[in-house]
Amino acid sequence: MGGKLKLNNSFCILFNLKKINFNAVHITWLPKNFGNLTNLEVLNLSDTSIKKLPKSISKLTKLREITIYKKLSNIEVEFPYSLEKIDFRANKLIDIPKNLFSLPKLKYIDISTNPFFNIQVVENDVLEMLITKDTPFRLFKSNLEKIRPYLKKCDIVGGRYGRFVDVENTTEYLHTNKKYYSKKYPNGHHSHH
């Protein structure tokens, strides 16, 4: 935990690793051959500077949990079907791809405090919890109504106090992207006036 680290390709010959915890480690990228760590079950990259995941992450067929906070800006990778828990809180995600919702064992997704407006979902009977607190998405009850039919067994937790807000007659400020949202400004603006 803590400190600075630069991983090189030789790190990925540690085939028997089951858990990696780089919490608060200044690390900016993972090697392209990261998928060689085929026994990896838990990957914690909390409070790192990783903006993008390597495509080889799809080879981690035993990975059950992945956590990344802070800088992640896109998740354009195929995730392994073994994933049960995804925690991508407090990143820079503006696009949530539907492939996340097609993972057959996934029970928990936290994508709170990201600046996304929309979620693409597919029908999923396994997901138990979706957390979207402090996102532009959660400001509109209509968004909840759009995804609810696809996630029938899922508890969808929205904004403040776990509820979805409706900016029909109010203005809400999100520190996520420092914007005010209202019916008049559904995409947000920087001034309250």
Q: Are 68 and 116 found together in one domain?
A: no
Please say which residue of 45, 63, 83 terminates a domain.
Answer: 83
Diameter of the chain measured on Cα atoms: 57
pLDDT in tens, 18-27: 999 999 999 9
The structure's pTM equals 0.89
Q: Are 63 and 119 found together in one domain?
A: no
Q: What are phi and psi of 33, to 5 degrees?
A: -90, 25
Q: Are 106 and 78 found together in one domain?
A: no
70: domain range?
1-83
How much is the mean pLDDT over the chain? Answer: 89
The ranges of the chain with pLDDT < 50 are: none
88 within a domain of the structure (yes/no): no
pLDDT in tens, 50-91: 999 999 999 999 999 999 999 999 898 999 999 999 999 999
Please say which residue of 83, 114, 145 terminates a domain.
Answer: 83
Q: Are 98 and 27 found together in one domain?
A: no
62 within a domain of the structure (yes/no): yes
Number of domains in the chain: 2
Q: 26 forms bridges with which residues in the sheet?
A: 4
Q: What are phi and psi of 59, to 5 degrees?
A: -85, -5
Task: Please report, in angstroms and rounded to a whole number, the separation of the first and last CA atoms in the chain.
Answer: 44
Q: Are 155 and 60 found together in one domain?
A: no
